[in-house]
Structure 1
Amino acid sequence: MSDLLQILFSGCVVGMIYAVVAFGYQLTFATSGTLNFGQGEALAVGALFGLTVSHHVGYWGMIPIVLLFGALYGIGVERIGVRPALKIGSEGWIMATIAIGIIMKNVAENVWGKEDLRFPSPVSDTSVTIGGANVLPMEFLVIGGALAIMAAIEVFNRKSIWGKAVIATAADRDAAGLMGIDTAQVITLSYAISCATAAFAGVLIAPLTMVGAGMGASLGLKAFAVAIIGGLTSGMGAVVGGLILGIAETATGFYVSTGYKDVPGLVLLLLVLALKPSGLFGKATIKKV
């Protein structure tokens, strides 16, 4: 029983990080039909930037600065890599976002070095025992922080004028434009929020791992798998998909081998693509001809 609880706790922690990053994928896809394939690098650079800032203002004072940094990063990605391609109806945003991610990874390696760095925890490193499972206070903080940032985005979308513009653009970009909504600015906002959440995810998970320029590659790819599994049109899908993948990886690593922990998630991804391409909670798009 204690082993099962340990797997569930650990899986939920990893899964919620996947969910936060996947949430960002879904936001940009909803408003523009595009994805930032350098989202993992936004997470890594955000974590490294947060590490530097935390030395001066502490962990809690660093968080709003990292959110702002991530938002500015996202605006840059949209303006440089996405907007020019959308204007001419090109798919060039795919390679552009990948290229920006690679560039930022190289910049991070030159600024912070190639070696992984320790990110101090803002809470105690002493684990607490729950039902025989050992849980670190930082793990509770990761789950709570992930849920809080996703809830904040949902409230923003439903209660603010800009949020309602995001929802309208996601529902029908052309119709939103005819109603006077500046859809280009909405797309920029979606990229700002997407990269801000990725940077936030970076500083959440960093105290539990080592932080480095290469940390985002795997997390970004797995979060993309989560977005596909849950459905690129469903916020709930991001949470459920993240939990499924996180728990499946943890259980496989515990009961089988850490060398196989990536297999269940990839198998699930293939099954979802084969049986329900729109994702577990996604809605198939019906185009009228």
Structure 2
Amino acid sequence: MYSLIPQILVSGIAIGMIYAIIAFGYQLTFATSGTMNFGQGEALALGALVAFSLVGVVGYWVAIPIVLLFGAFQGIVVEWVAVRPALRTKSEFGWIMSTIALGIIFRNVAENVWGKEEMKFPSPLPEMAITFAGARVLPMELLVAAGAFALMLSVEFFNRKTMFGKAVVATASDREAAELMGINTSRVITFSFALSSLAAALAGMLIAPLTLAGARMGATLGLKAFAVAIIGGLTSGGGAIVGGMVLGIAETATGFYVSTGYKDVPGMVLLLIVLAVKPSGLFGKAAIKKV
């Protein structure tokens, strides 16, 4: 008999890291452009569905780079079609409705290509639970956490050690100053959207073997990840990890001790509290508007 608390922690961290990957995508685009893709959930679902089609042909591991490229391309389309026109016309809210509309279009296309029914996604790892840190955990759950950390560390290394990465950091710090320094901020913003959707596609591919793959699988995950981004702070990459783990553990604990029917409540309550007490998020910095 294994202890309940380690089980809650391990299971909560596994699902929390999925939230963190998607929330990280929200933060990337907000940092460089002040906008976000409210179709992140659909990017996750499409990543899982494209992977589902590829796995039977090339295998799970070979499919990963193909799915990542697909996710990046989708992000570029979102930026070109839904965000760039709004930024060009200085529309304060146009990008919100545009990204939502594009997300609905993507979901409709997915339903027509793959159908509306959810499908069992084959796991690349054994589906028998193992004992880890005093808890029973699926190998795929460990892969989820490892994949999330690997992605975020890769982005951090890219930002610190490459010239284009430093351009991304400069654009995130002050877009107008970056432009004066000769940085092509439009290209940087496009890149941030590509990376954001790439992260969502990876999240979809990681979580699909633990759930089911379907056109609507990302709707709730995208919303919860947005809550995580707000809770952790839209200006803090580390906040996404902490916020994701807090929400994942809170949901898992609620499912164990109360009821799975109420597991979505803690995250929304936490979001309301954070917005009331510290609107910039637990680790975020309050924005100073220039007038």
Shared fold per TM-score greater than 0.5: yes
Written as runs of structure 1 = structure 2, the 5 A alignment for 1:173-212 is 173-212=175-214
Count of residue pairs the alignment pairs up: 289
The alignment partner of 2:183 has SS state of coil
Confirm or deny: 8 A CA contact 1:22 1:238 kept in the other structure: yes
Runs of 4+ in 1 over 4 A off after TM superposition: none
In 2, the alpha carbon distance for the partners of 1:160 and 1:119 equals 36
List gaps (5 residues or longer) in structure 2: none
Alignment partner, residue 234 of structure 2? 232
Give the partner amino acid of 2:4. Answer: D
Using the alignment, how far apart are the partners of 1:286 and 1:88 within structure 2? 22
Q: Distance in 1 between matches of 2:255 and 2:143?
A: 23
Give 1:129 shift. 2.0
Deviates more, 1:214-223 or 1:279-288: 279-288
**Mapping of residues 151-190 of structure 1, within 5 Å:** 151-190=153-192
Range moving further from structure 2, 175-184 or 121-130: 121-130
Give the Cα–Cα distance (whole angstroms) in 2 for the partners of residues 6 and 69 of structure 1.
Answer: 35
Amino acid of the structure 2 residue aligned with 1:192: A
Aligned to 2:8: 7
User: What TM-score, normalized by structure 1, do the two folds share?
Assistant: 0.98
Deviation, 1:261, is 0.7
SS of residue matched to 1:242: helix
The 10-residue stretch of structure 1 (175-184 or 150-159) with the greater mean CA deviation from structure 2: 150-159
C-alpha distance after superposition, 1:51-76 (max 9, x if no partner): 11111111000000011000000000
Equivalent-residue separation in structure 2 for 1:187 and 1:285 (angstroms)? 19
State the TM-score, normalized to the length of structure 2. Answer: 0.98
Instruction: Kindly state the Cα deviation for residue 130 of structure 1 after the two structures are TM-superposed.
Output: 3.4
**Within-5 A mapping of 1:216-231:** 216-231=218-233
Task: Give yes or no for the alignment of 1:44 onto 2:41.
Answer: no
SS in 2 for 1:134: strand
* Deviation readout 1:30-82 (Å, 9 max, x if unpaired): 00000100000000011000111111111000000011000000000000000
| CA RMSD, 1 decimal | 1.0
CA distance in 1, matches of 2:191, 2:120: 32
C-alpha displacement of 1:288 = 5.1
Letter in 2 for 1:269: L
Matched, 1:103 2:112: no
**Matches for 1:29-178 after TM superposition, within 5 Å:** 29-90=30-91, 91-130=93-132, 132-178=134-180
- Percent identity between matched residues is 70
Distance 1:286 1:194 in 2: 25
